[in-house]
């Protein structure tokens, strides 16, 4: 989350000015926001996002593995069919 471009949750205004190093004030309605709290929230969100990204990565790896297994299975079935056909032709069954 970019604190500089945050919106006022009270009035939706997009212009917030720093009152001091810890507090931002909405230019429209005067609502005050504690920067330390916002930063902590942003950090928590970022951590959550990273965990979600990691899970998504695992999931896509698992999907790839499943696709690979399915392709191998299909190949084995095709191979089996080919063997049976060539046997039928040469009447070796």
- Each as own residue / partner, the long-range contacts of residues 22-27 (CB below 8 Å, 24 or more positions apart, any chain) are none
The window from 2-10, 17-25, 33-41, 61-69 that contacts Zn ion (CB under 5 A) reads 2-10
DSSP strand E in the chain: where? 16-18, 23-26, 32-34
CB atoms inside a 10 Å sphere around CB 42: 14
Task: Select from 11, 36, 71, 87 the one that contacts Zn ion (CB under 5 A).
Answer: 11
Q: Which is nearer to Zn ion, 23 or 31 (CB)?
A: 31
| Beta-strand runs (E) in 4-67 | 16-18, 23-26, 32-34
Nearer to Zn ion, 6 or 31 (CB): 31
16 binds Zn ion, rule: CB under 5 A: no
Q: Which of 29, 40, 52, 56 binds Zn ion (CB under 5 A)?
A: 29
Question: Residue 19 corresponds to which tokens in the numbers above?
Answer: 């009152």
Residues lying near Zn ion in the complex (CB under 5 A): 8, 10-11, 13, 26, 28-29, 31
């Amino acid at each position: 989350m970019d604190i500089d471009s945050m919106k006022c949750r009270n009035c939706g205004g997009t212009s917030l000015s720093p009152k001091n190093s810890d507090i931002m004030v909405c230019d429209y309605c005067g609502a005050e926001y504690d920067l330390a709290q916002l930063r902590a929230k942003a950090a928590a969100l970022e951590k959550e996002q990273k965990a979600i990204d990691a899970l998504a990565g695992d999931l896509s790896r698992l999907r790839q593995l499943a696709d690979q297994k399915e392709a191998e299975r299909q190949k084995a079935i095709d191979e089996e069919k080919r063997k049976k056909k060539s046997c039928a032709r040469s009447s070796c069954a």
